[in-house]
Structure 1
Amino acid sequence: MTLLKYTPYVYLILAAFFIYDAVEKWNVEGATPILSLLMAGLGIFMFFFRKRFAKKMQDRSNHKS
């Protein structure tokens, strides 16, 4: 169960990688950094979604006990 506490941070690491990828592709002719930016946005969204969902589940389990 402790592994699940760290999985949202994987999304942040992936978002950082895709932001780096987008910056690298920004001035390259014919490259499309928009996909990397979309994936970075999805990673950041998933980080906050997973953190909020985990907090809800923790509150729910504490409330039942």
Structure 2
Amino acid sequence: MNYLKFTQYVYLLFAAFFLYDGVTKLMNPALGSPWLSFIITAVAIFMFFFRRKFSKKFDDRNKNS
């Protein structure tokens, strides 16, 4: 279960990729609308902090047991 501590960083990688994709689409309107990429970026960042918060909560609960 130790690998779950590292999987939260995958969300940051997704956020970086979709942020790059959104900026690229913003600079070149022929590629399409950038808003979906920015929404996915925001969701990925939210999920990173959400997973991080609950990971700490579960670690604290396991330490008290």
TM-score by length of 2: 0.92
| Residue in structure 2 matched with residue 56 of structure 1 by the alignment | 57
| Helix, strand or coil at the partner of 2:30 | coil
Question: Identity across aligned pairs (percent)?
Answer: 48
Equivalent residue letter for 2:54: F
1:2 deviates by 1.8
Structure 2: tracts of 5 or more residues without a match: none
RMSD over equivalenced CA pairs, Å = 1.1
* Count of residue pairs the alignment pairs up: 64
| Misfit runs of 4+, over 4 Å | none
Structure 1: tracts of 5 or more residues without a match: none
TM-score by length of 1: 0.92
1:30 deviates by 6.5
1:38 deviates by 0.3
